[in-house]
Amino acid sequence: MAAPTRDFERTNPAAIARGTINATRELQMMKVVLAVPSGDDAVIGSDAVAQHIGEVIGAFTGLFQIKANGTEIYMVTDRHDISIDTVALEIGMALETGDITSSDFGISSAGVCTLIDNSTITVTIVTDIEGL
């Protein structure tokens, strides 16, 4: 007896291919790398900070994980409603302390936000889940 099949619409690519991310929904995966100037410390250094960041990104992501050492976040988002620049800026705004606005720091290049202390938030679209 053959296994049952279900029809579904592919959003990218038109056919299943090995070694390629196959999307069957309007979703994308993002990787966020959080780095401090010394390169030694975690930007998300406590569960309290992780909770705060989770509350911020939970508004626009359906699934996320903050790496145990606090240096990366993996998230699944809607491909139409959020950009890498917005994610970088939202996380940057959440991590900054004091009374600031987005004009106090900003996006220096696509998906990269530099904070006042020169820590960086780099957001990319994951193109190889297998490579994670």
The answer to whether 117 touches 111, Cβ cutoff 8 Å, is no
pLDDT at 114: 83
- What number does CATH give the domain 27-126? 3.30.70
Q: Of 87, 129, 79, which is closest to residue 112 (Cα–Cα)?
A: 87
81 is written with which tokens?
Answer: 């409603």
Residue type, 63: L
Domains of the chain by residue range? 27-126
pLDDT at 80: 80
Tell whether pTM > 0.85. Answer: no
CA dist list (Å): 68 to 23, 40, 51, 74, 124: 27, 15, 13, 11, 19
The answer to whether 59 touches 75, Cβ cutoff 8 Å, is no
pLDDT tens across the length of the chain (132 residues): 566 665 656 666 667 778 888 777 888 999 999 988 875 556 888 899 999 999 999 999 999 999 999 999 999 998 887 899 989 988 988 887 655 555 555 666 689 988 877 888 999 999 888 777
Which contiguous run of DSSP H or E holds residue 53? helix 47-57
Cis peptide before 13 (omega within 30 of 0): yes
